[in-house]
Amino acid sequence: MTVRLALVSGNSFLRLAIDTILRDRDCLIEPVDSIALLVAESLQDGIDLVLLDTALLGAAQPHASLLGVTPPILAIDSCGLRLGAVAATRFAAVLAVCNDGRLDVAALKRSLPTAVEACTRQAFAQGASAAPPAVPLPVADRLAPRALLLIGASTGGPEALIAFLAALGPPPVPAVVAIHMPADQTGFFSDHLSQRTGLRVIETAAGDVPAAGSIAVLRGGANYRIARGRAGFVLRQSLAAAGPYRPSIDMLFGSAAEASLICDAVVLSGMGEDGAGGAARIEAAGGRVFVQRPDSCVVAGMPAATLAACHAAQALTPPAIAARLIRDARATGGAS
């Protein structure tokens, strides 16, 4: 039975440790940067258990921020916080994994799997959770139908994106574009893409991802994570910093990998390295990575960095990437 976990922490080291410890377990982990974000954006839908880093709790009335959290909470006390009555009344369990003011990874490794199993078993027995989603497709199936098409671009990317989308036509799976642009430009750019390609292109912020056949362009000036929704996929704005560019391609790609979505990732012309780390995570999760051939780029920084980060990334021109996706979509019955 797959268990959906919301991991509420701003500590990237703690997130990495938990992801590593639970990697071989039947869990889907969705990272959330703050308690306020968990409550304000209804990120609790379909969540079986919340893993809460107690470092996020304020010293004054620490229970107040938890009032809007409905799933059971497993508190991970990595900072030696004295929780007092809050622990007894609000948490399903508390893991004390602080040693001399620091996170004790060994203690976390010993106690976390058992605690997650016990808390979720109790929640399911009480009928507190909806039925969990189906187990994701196996990572080893390299030609399994893809859930999403994710595209990243920056300097030189607009023309490359037009060439790619014009050759691709209506995408057979939901498609999301992250391009480094200010918030007041992505709406105009979406209209321009639609006019140049003849496709349905929509500027999108937080909310449902448009269905297959359309292209969603992330609104500029903010970062987003993608996750499974009740009837498809949803985008959620993130307050976390993720490099100098927004929207962060790394965050978009990485969130898809964290949700165990098998995706195709495309990295087009751009300066810097944004997208390389996220693309490596998509590859590790069973997806494929395509980059614009560096000699065809206006600026080859992002494609070159992605090629260096991914073992099996393929470098092609934008129209050739589109042709490959069309061919593979036909081979897998409609999804690339």
**Which residues have a Cβ under 8 Å from the Cβ of 309 and sit 6 or more positions away?**
276, 277, 279, 280
**Which residues have a Cβ under 8 Å from the Cβ of 9 and sit 6 or more positions away?**
15, 31, 33, 51, 52, 53, 55, 56, 76
Q: Following DSSP, what letter does each residue of 273-309 receive, concatenated?
A: STTHHHHHHHHHTT-EEEEE-GGG-SS-HHHHHHHHH
Question: Is-catalytic flag, 19?
Answer: no
Structure tokens that stand for 320 in this block:
């050739």
List of E strands, the chain: 3-8, 27-32, 49-53, 73-77, 93-96, 98-99, 102-103, 148-153, 175-179, 200-204, 207-208, 214-218, 223-228, 233-238, 263-267, 288-292, 314-316
Question: Is-catalytic flag, 77?
Answer: no
Q: Contact, 139 vs 146, CB < 8 A?
A: no
Distance between CA atoms of residues 326 and 336, nearest Å: 7
Catalytic residue among 33, 180, 260, 336: 180
Structure tokens that stand for 173 in this block:
């799976």
Catalytic residue among 274, 296, 328, 336: 274
Please state whether beta strands 263-267 and 148-153 pair in parallel, antiparallel, or not at all (unpaired).
Answer: parallel
Catalytic residue among 154, 190, 238, 255: 154
Q: Where are the alpha helices (DSSP H) in 149-206?
A: 157-168, 186-197
Tokens 């909470």 found at: 73
Question: Is-catalytic flag, 48?
Answer: no
Distance between CA atoms of residues 37 and 43, nearest Å: 8
Distance between CA atoms of residues 94 and 78, nearest Å: 10
Mind telling me the catalytic residues?
154, 180, 274
